[in-house]
Amino acid sequence: MAVKMRLRREGKRKQPFYRVVVADGRSPRDGRFIEDIGYYQPLREPSEIAIDRDRALYWLGEGVQPSDAVRQLLRVSGIWEDFKPGDQGRQRPRAVAAQQKASAAAAGTADEQAEG
């Protein structure tokens, strides 16, 4: 059974409200689910995200695959960093290379200043 962590849409027309659920991958989007672990309200200002950290980490540890949207919500709430430390998310390769180059240059100038 492929278990996934995904969003379940609720609310009225043009007023979406999403629940973060753990569900069997074969079940429909708004259908049967195993556990409800949080919610996301995109229309609030600012957007409101509430996810149970302990349950999310438990399910991620069990091998549940989050959808792209849920993975982004986990990053915003800081849960993804607890699960995969050092994972910066989807950054462009050039941006990552530029950051590494800048940090290497900064380390090089610090070494030169320490010697001189």
pLDDT in tens, 40-97: 999 999 999 999 999 999 999 999 999 999 999 999 998 988 888 777 666 555 555 6
Q: d(Cα 23, Cα 30) in Å, to the nearest integer?
A: 10
Q: What is the token pair recorded at 9?
A: 């849409």
Quote the pTM value: 0.71
CATH superfamily, with its number, for domain 3-85: Ribosomal protein S16 (3.30.1320.10)
C-alpha distances in Å from residue 116, one per residue of 4, 13, 107, 108: 56, 67, 14, 12
Domain range summary for the chain, segments of one domain joined by +: 3-85, 91-116
How many helices, marked H, and strands, marked E, lie in the chain?
Answer: 4, 5
Nearest Cα to Cα of residue 36 among 46, 47, 50, 15? 50
